[in-house]
């Protein structure tokens, strides 16, 4: 059995590379058939210069969707074979512009028959297939431009790992973890303040005994995230002390904790959720917006680091 059948769709790039290598090898023989002294990999650059116009390396790279170094290397090879020449441009001496030489222009005239025959051959091959690979490539290029493969894999990784995360209520044995997770997060960006020590050193007295709640996120049975709901007046809870361990980033734990806290507040009869944060924490602010929080002007904050207050109506 072909190894790519065993590997499945995760081998898409490798399989396309094999197809590309096969087509490139066969294309080389096509150039020999028409006695055209060119390499298949040169064609996009050659075609971009086929009007006879001078162009910069960057301009060509943008036109054909290749990297600047890739185009630069191809141009060097074409210069060595006398197909392209390089020289300064009168309007911008800092850039090197290239164009087809007389030999290149001659090849451009002779290659037209090859173009016509190759296009016809490819069109006939497409008619023999159930799926139009040309259209499929266009679709994939569009899809990957909207959301690249890395981001798609990251999303799947986060989804898989988030299913292994358990959100659970506070346990006395996690008292130290509650402080360590928050202290690690706070000291990464700010400094610990008096109000921090009150709630982190005495979570039962400062939060739980006053009608609040503390939630934990467990990953592989280890506490890796936490948040608290501190009871306020007028059926309002403050979403506070949300922290996720750096080693658990990328698993969607903040999102899971946030949603669990919102649901817990609803169950407790809350009408609103309030929070305080700082705008330098862009991922956190984005999370709060995603959860539905809106910026408000609230009560004076006991924290120096607070420069934004947000609220969610339940």
DSSP 243-287: EE-GGGTTSSHHHHHHHHHHHHHHHTT-SEEEEEE-TT-HHHHHH
Domain boundary among 101, 130, 153: 153
Tokens of 39: 């390499």
Percent of the chain with pLDDT over 90: 81
C-alpha span between 6 and 29 (Å, rounded): 32
* pLDDT score of 159: 87
* Gyration radius of the chain over CA positions: 31
Question: Tell me: the pLDDT tens digits for 62-108?
Answer: 999 999 999 999 999 999 999 999 876 555 554 679 999 999 999 99
One domain, residues 143 and 111: yes
Give the pTM.
Answer: 0.68
One domain, residues 144 and 264: no
* pLDDT score of 94: 46
From 246, 268, 242, select the one nearest 255 (Cα to Cα).
242
Judge whether 291 and 260 are in contact, CB under 8 Å.
Answer: no
One domain, residues 166 and 245: yes
Beta strands 236-244 and 165-169: pairing type? unpaired
One domain, residues 31 and 113: yes
Domain with 38 in it: 3-153
CA 219 to chain centre: 24
**CATH at residue 224:** 3.40.630.30
Count of structural domains within the chain = 2
Coil, helix or strand at residue 225: strand
**CATH at residue 126:** 1.10.10.10
Cα four-point dihedral sign 184, 188, 189, 191: positive
C-alpha span between 64 and 127 (Å, rounded): 27
One domain, residues 44 and 85: yes
One domain, residues 73 and 117: yes
C-alpha span between 28 and 39 (Å, rounded): 7
Residues whose CB is less than 8 angstroms from the CB of residue 79 and which lie 6 or more positions away in sequence, other chains included: 85, 86, 98
Domain boundary among 153, 170, 194: 153
One domain, residues 173 and 217: yes
* pLDDT score of 96: 77
Residue 29, strand partner residues = none
Residues of the chain with pLDDT under 50: 1, 94
C-alpha span between 24 and 217 (Å, rounded): 52
One domain, residues 9 and 122: yes
> In the 3-class helix/strand/coil scheme, how is 22-58 assigned residue by residue?
HHHHHHHHHHHHCCCCCCHHHHHHHHHCCCCCCEEHH
Domain boundary among 153, 186, 207: 153
Residues whose CB is less than 8 angstroms from the CB of residue 157 and which lie 6 or more positions away in sequence, other chains included: 250
One domain, residues 137 and 26: yes
Residues whose CB is less than 8 angstroms from the CB of residue 29 and which lie 6 or more positions away in sequence, other chains included: none
Tokens of 313: 């109506």
C-alpha span between 226 and 189 (Å, rounded): 18
* pLDDT score of 270: 94
Distances from the Cα of 228 to the Cα of 9, 65, 74, angstroms: 43, 49, 59
104-109, long-range: CB < 8 A, 24+ apart: 104/46, 104/49, 104/78, 105/52, 107/36, 107/37, 107/38, 107/46, 107/83, 108/46, 108/50
Beta strands 55-56 and 213-219: pairing type? unpaired
């Amino acid at each position: 059995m072909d190894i790519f059948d065993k590997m499945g769709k995760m081998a898409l790039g490798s399989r396309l590379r094999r197809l590309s290598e096969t087509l490139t090898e066969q294309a080389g023989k096509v150039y020999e058939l028409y006695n055209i002294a060119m390499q298949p990999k040169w064609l996009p650059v050659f075609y971009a210069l086929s009007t006879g116009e001078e162009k910069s390396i960057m301009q060509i790279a943008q036109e054909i969707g290749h990297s600047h170094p890739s185009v630069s290397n191809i141009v060097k090879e074409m210069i060595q074979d006398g197909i392209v020449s390089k020289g300064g441009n009168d309007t911008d001496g800092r850039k090197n512009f290239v164009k087809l030489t007389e030999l290149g222009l001659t090849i451009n005239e002779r290659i037209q028959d090859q173009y016509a025959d190759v296009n016809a051959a490819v069109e006939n091959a497409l008619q023999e297939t159930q799926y139009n690979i040309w259209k499929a490539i266009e679709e994939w290029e569009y899809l990957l431009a909207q959301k690249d493969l890395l981001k798609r894999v990251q999303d799947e990784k986060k989804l898989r790992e988030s299913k292994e995360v358990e959100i659970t209520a506070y346990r006395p044995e996690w008292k130290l973890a509650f402080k360590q997770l928050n202290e690690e997060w706070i000291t990464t960006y700010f400094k610990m303040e008096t109000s921090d020590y009150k709630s982190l050193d005495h979570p039962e007295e400062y939060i739980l005994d006053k009608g609040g709640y503390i939630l934990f996120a467990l990953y592989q049975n280890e506490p890796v995230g936490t948040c608290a709901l501190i009871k306020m007046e007028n059926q309002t809870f403050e979403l506070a002390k949300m922290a996720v361990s750096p080693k658990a980033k990328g698993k969607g734990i903040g999102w899971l904790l946030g949603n669990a806290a919102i649901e817990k507040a609803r169950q407790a009869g809350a009408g609103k959720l309030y929070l305080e944060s700082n705008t330098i924490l862009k991922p956190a602010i984005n999370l709060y917006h995603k959860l539905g929080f809106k910026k408000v002007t609230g009560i004076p904050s006991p924290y120096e680091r607070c420069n934004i207050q947000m609220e969610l109506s339940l």
